[in-house]
Amino acid sequence: MKLRYLRSRSEVQAIEEMMRVPKLLDYSETQYTKHPMIDIRIDSDYLAIELLVTDKAWLDAQNFKKKVEQHKAERQHLIHLLQDLGHDYIFGGWPDTSKPELITTAADLANEERLLDWADKFDPGYNWLRLGIWYTDPEDFRLTTGRIVEEVLYRFKKLYLVYQFLLWTPDNNFR
């Protein structure tokens, strides 16, 4: 089961026009992979709560890269957000929605030198950006009936701050 959160329909239309994506007759067919999203997935092996920016969401990825590389105050703000996430969140760039292959934590990138090194290697339109938490132990106390809703909402809120940071908007334009 998947639950995805992404920008509003009007924002989708405006961004896809900027990306020169042909207009669809039915916007229910929006290609969500062209937009950053917070993705909550449950399957038999794990629960994942993840911020995804695919290779097709190049406009937002380009904005994020320039914001991080060229604006020290913005970079410091992102470092603060990553520090707040800590070691539970995994940061990487592998494609698809499989479990993590690259084990780098958000806390590891809460170092300016490491973050700039990562940004230098990040290629919008080619690389994915992934930041999330995976629960693989079905006995994890955070996933009990009395706690799971609170846990998912808590993690979503944390990722939403990073989502807002990277999302291209007219007021967040670093392209």
DSSP 32-68: GGGS-EEEEEE-SS-EEEEEEE-TT-HHHHHHHHHHH
Residue 81 has pLDDT above 60, yes or no: yes
Residue with tokens 């969500």: 32
β-partners of residue 51 are 38, 131
User: Is residue 175 within 8 Å of residue 71, measured between CB atoms?
Assistant: no
Judged against a pLDDT cut of 60, whether residue 100 lies above it is answered with no
The per-residue pLDDT for range 148-159, each reduced to its tens digit, is 999 999 999 999
Instruction: Give the right CATH number for 2-166 from 3.30.530.20, 3.30.930.20, 3.40.1410.10, 3.30.1490.20.
Output: 3.30.930.20
Q: Is 173 a residue whose pLDDT tops 70?
A: yes
Exposure b/e, 43-55, CB count within 10 A at least 16 = b: eeeebbbbbbbbb
pLDDT one-digit tens code per residue, 6-49: 998 888 878 888 888 777 655 555 577 889 999 999 888 889 99
pTM to 2 decimals? 0.88
Task: Match 């961004």 to its residue by tokens.
Answer: 15
pLDDT band at 101 (very low <50, low <70, confident <90, very high): low
- DSSP assigned state of 89: S
